[in-house]
Amino acid sequence: MIDALFGSKTRVKLLHLFLNHPGQSFYVREITRLIDEQINSVRRELSNMLEVGVITSDAGDNKLYYQVNQRYEFYSALRAIFANEALVTKPALSEGETVSEQYLSAIADISALRLAILSGVLVKGSTSSVDVLLVGTLPSAKVKAAMGVIEKLEGREINYTVMPYEDFYYRLSVRDKFITEILNSKHTVAIDKDNVLSQPQ
């Protein structure tokens, strides 16, 4: 049934392999052994999946390695179909609550947090490669715990950056490329204790 839906038995086996091992890379001969398929059909399907954006590739040790693209738009939906583990479903929203408020509750108790911006995979329509930007002198254990909660809610790895306030303020004032890309993409300001983003630059 799934073979018919996805057009190829090899592609289905590849999706099972990649979606059950997020963050793990495989090279072609290793893949052919693991899924027991011919190398030519594996290469053809890898090429198709790369083109669509389901997987990414990276060279190392004179080999080309492939892994699932956790930033792919339909990653969570594909995981729900192909992953062998039950996905954690996002808690239901209370009346009037937004998705970003669920993320906000995850980061709200990080002491000394002065600014938090959500973007990337957490904000629909965002093209940023950063999902969470946290500003302040922050305890790393609390940050890791909060990001763990958001990753669990999302069912994928989150790209986050922590920056001291002075560094952020300076980079904002000189229109630094990294900060500008986040702010020019769709984003949600979850916390801005100093109203730094509402001040004229």
pLDDT tens-digit map of 175-185: 999 999 999 99
For residues 109 and 29, state if they share a domain.
no
Residue 30 within any structural domain of the chain: yes
Question: Over 70: is that where the pLDDT of 201 sits?
Answer: no
Residue 88 within any structural domain of the chain: no
CATH number assigned to the domain comprising residue 24: 1.10.10.10
Prediction pTM value: 0.65
Out of 24-28, 68-72, 80-84, 196-200, which region has the weakest mean confidence (pLDDT)?
Answer: 196-200
pLDDT tens-digit map of 56-84: 999 888 889 999 988 888 887 888 788 76
For residues 105 and 72, state if they share a domain.
no
Report the Cα–Cα distance between both ends of the chain, in Å, rounded: 57
CB atoms within 10 A of CB 119: 24
Contact 70, 156 (CB under 8 A): yes
Question: Over 50: is that where the pLDDT of 94 sits?
Answer: no
For residue 200, the model assigns a pLDDT of: 54
Question: Over 50: is that where the pLDDT of 91 sits?
Answer: no
State how beta strands 63-68 and 55-60 pair.
antiparallel
Task: Name the nearest CA neighbour of 62 among 14, 22, 28, 24.
Answer: 28
For residues 109 and 65, state if they share a domain.
no
Last residue of a domain, one of 55, 82, 109: 82
For residues 129 and 187, state if they share a domain.
yes
Last residue of a domain, one of 17, 50, 82: 82
Those residues whose C-beta lies under 8 Å from the C-beta of residue 184, and which sit 6 or more positions away, are none
Q: Which tops the pLDDT comparison, 129 or 200?
A: 129
Last residue of a domain, one of 16, 51, 82: 82
For residue 190, the model assigns a pLDDT of: 87
Task: Name the nearest CA neighbour of 183 among 172, 174, 169.
Answer: 172
Mean pLDDT of the chain: 84
Virtual torsion, Cα 33, 34, 37, 40, nearest 10 deg: -70
Residue 176 within any structural domain of the chain: yes
d(Cα 168, Cα 147) in Å, to the nearest integer?
20
For residues 114 and 54, state if they share a domain.
no
Task: Name the nearest CA neighbour of 100 among 70, 132, 143, 141.
Answer: 132
For residue 96, the model assigns a pLDDT of: 47
Instruction: Count the domains in the chain.
Output: 2
Residue 87 within any structural domain of the chain: no
Residue span of the structural domain in which 31 resides: 2-82
Share of the chain above pLDDT 70, in %: 87
